[in-house]
Each structure stands twice: as structure tokens, then as C-alpha cells.
Amino acid sequence: MKMNSAQIQQTLHTLNTAELNAEAIPAGHPMMSQLERLFGDHTYFLDSRGLNIVEPVAAGNDGRLGVVVNLASWTDSRAESLQPHQPEPTETVVDLEADSRH
């Protein structure tokens, strides 16, 4: 899913609270067209696990939740190269409406 700026910030907060050293890949990044061709139209995040997206998992009275899904893992400890694999949902859940309820 493509995220708005509040959702991106909430996702970064959640990932970084889990000490995953995450950053969002900017929409204008040169790799974005290749990522979208390979994985679809999403907001992409890099963290200590590799390349991730967020997929909605539940909607309810308390807002919408999303799960972080890992699409590619780092090939070594230097985090210089990614190896794509089948999407793997992680245990990290993001409250996608956290900022909109304040």
C-alpha cells in the first residue's frame, strides 16, 4: 500500500522503537521504478532485516492496523545487497491511524 506522510512516520516510529534502524525509501528514489515493477505500488522501507512494505490486516473501531512484510533480506552483515524472496509477514504491527486520532 502507498502511505501518507503520517502513516510513514508512524511506521518509522514503530520500526525504530523495535531497534530496526528503519528508513523510508523516498518516492523519487532512482530504484523506485524497479521496486514497483518487482513488488507493486507500495511505500518501501529498509531496516536491519532488509526491504519491507506494510500491508493492511485489520480494520475496526480502534483504527486500521498493518503488518510489516519483508520482501528481501540482506545477503550479509554489511547490508550492501538484498536477496528477494517470497513475502514474509513479520511480527511487527503498525497502527496506521495513530496520528489521526489526536
Stretch 24-35: mean pLDDT, rounded?
A: 95
Name the domain count of the chain.
Answer: 1
Residues 45 and 15 sit within 8 Å (Cβ to Cβ): yes
Whole-number pLDDT of residue 10: 94
Domain that residue 71 falls in? 5-101
Whole-number pLDDT of residue 99: 53
**Whole-structure pTM value:** 0.88
**In whole angstroms, how far apart are CA 24 and each of 9, 52, 53, 102?**
9, 9, 10, 23
